[in-house]
Amino acid sequence: MALAMELLGPSLKDLFTLGGNKMSLKTVLMIANQMLTRIEHVHRCKLIHRDITPENILIGRPRQTLPFKESTEHTLYLIDFGMAKPYINLTTKHHIHYDTEVPVCGSYQFMSANAHFGIGKKCTRNA
């Protein structure tokens, strides 16, 4: 068995740093539009990512494409699903209840307010 993966470009953090810690409004809106689409797809798969940071959003690399293939140069990719968890019980089809007083996991700078208050899913690397 073989696994083929695409080589991706820099992270949003890298681009932000290279740009002197600035981004144009147009760039921010393009990022927001794509990321909302990516997160919506993850949620339709009944998962919460739990570690969305600029380091976990990569830009596609420019490449020569076939006439029927789009370039991935401006495509964003959400990576690192190591902390992702289901929010729907696949057996019962019911929402999995939040736990309280759970240990903090993820990046403090980017975690939700609930996570700061210890409300959420138990922090394990195994989804």
- Per domain, the residue ranges of the chain are 8-87
Q: Is residue 81 over pLDDT 80? A: yes
pTM of the model: 0.73
Give the percent of the chain with pLDDT over 70.
68
Average pLDDT, the chain: 82
Residue 51 among the catalytic residues = yes
Which member of 14, 51, 80, 99 is catalytic? 51
CATH 3.50.50.60 applies to domain 8-87:
no
3-state secondary structure the chain: CCCCCCCEEEEHHHHHHHCCCCCCHHHHHHHHHHHHHHHHHHHHCCEECCCCCHHHEEEECCCCCCCCCCCCCCCEEECCCCCCEECECCCCCCECCCEECCCCCCCHHHCCHHHHCCEECCCCCCC
Question: Which of 72-76, 78-82, 112-116 has the least mean pLDDT?
Answer: 112-116
